[in-house]
Structure 1
């Protein structure tokens, strides 16, 4: 659920509900709307390889199980305060793209999920600039290979600080 709130003369969107698997599929459908309607919101039915990555993604037969596990992890992280909101957002993104449930649009969907979680926790969305793309891919690959999310968390935290500084500058 998203509410619009008037704060100090500004309208702000506030995300009030946690993420669900149904919402993930709906977000993906919106991303592929008008591009590939047959694949929009549909889990892939074949195995894929991420070009340039050092790790494998979830085999297509395990996608539903791995997404269910991701949702259990996410729910537990929120309910038990297992980490800072920025950590949870970054790890959610990494785990999602390493499952790679769709044929196309996994990165875009994953970044939207990350921003969804940041906004749900009261933070600004972050944008990964073209100049940061290689660093971003390296952080994702490092997380996928080593199950170590530190590089990605640091990157997202730094991007959040930058977004907050720009926001304050505008105020």
Structure 2
């Protein structure tokens, strides 16, 4: 009997095949989808780290250029920086830019360029602990070599299912924890860079799933089982594929 994870990976593959048969989508369809995912992805990714702007407020900041009363300047800057990182990654995907340590650092630089400029794009120079986790990230002096190895291992996974590969990249980045802050946002951006490079839409890990998200990452880091996290990512990819198909007028 097929496992739940295998069934979901197959479902994602089949939905993507249906979507591929409808491509290219119209410019109007793509513009609406891009706007939707930019807001959703930014809102949920920053909310996972404690940003209190709600979805409507995030949309106002990103699309209308407005400020929201009662919210901090930092929260506004976080969502704008995240949006800028998405735009940069979209261009990297279009130009078929490969994953490199330089790309990882540039994504991080964009994520924290306004809120932590002195650390933007710089590997941490000291030890770090993750609140609520038993996993202790490696020593700072090992970080550059570990990121280089991550990039090499990722390149060697070209034959893996794209969702497994993207989930592994996310997990490995947070396992290394190469930066003082912004590791989670950077990892989710890199995960979606991988998915989009392989022709999939971005996966949005929702703030309501924060506990499951952290628990599945802990299971991978401490228990050595990446399966539950891959399954979570697969569910979110399926959701995104269905949104794309609905936008194209396809029943799902």
> What is the TM-score normalised by the length of structure 1?
0.90
* Stretches (4+) displaced over 2 A: 10-14
Aligned length: 163
The CA distance in 1 between the partners of 2:216 and 2:117, in whole Å, is 31
Shift of 1:55: 1.2
The CA distance in 2 between the partners of 1:164 and 1:133, in whole Å, is 21
* 1:102 corresponds to: 179
Does residue 245 of structure 2 align to residue 151 of structure 1? Answer: no
| Structure 1 unaligned blocks of 5 or more | 1-5
Identify, as 1 or 2, the structure richer in helix.
2
* 2:144 corresponds to: 64
* 2:219 corresponds to: 142
* 1:26 corresponds to: 106
The CA distance in 1 between the partners of 2:26 and 2:187, in whole Å, is 31
The CA distance in 1 between the partners of 2:26 and 2:247, in whole Å, is 14
* 1:3 corresponds to: none
The CA distance in 2 between the partners of 1:8 and 1:165, in whole Å, is 14
Identify, as 1 or 2, the structure richer in strand.
1
The CA distance in 2 between the partners of 1:167 and 1:132, in whole Å, is 22
Question: RMSD in angstroms over aligned alpha carbons?
Answer: 1.5
| Structure 2 unaligned blocks of 5 or more | 1-22, 35-89
Does residue 237 of structure 2 align to residue 160 of structure 1? Answer: yes
Q: Secondary structure of the residue that 1:37 maps to in structure 2?
A: coil
Does residue 156 of structure 2 align to residue 76 of structure 1? Answer: yes
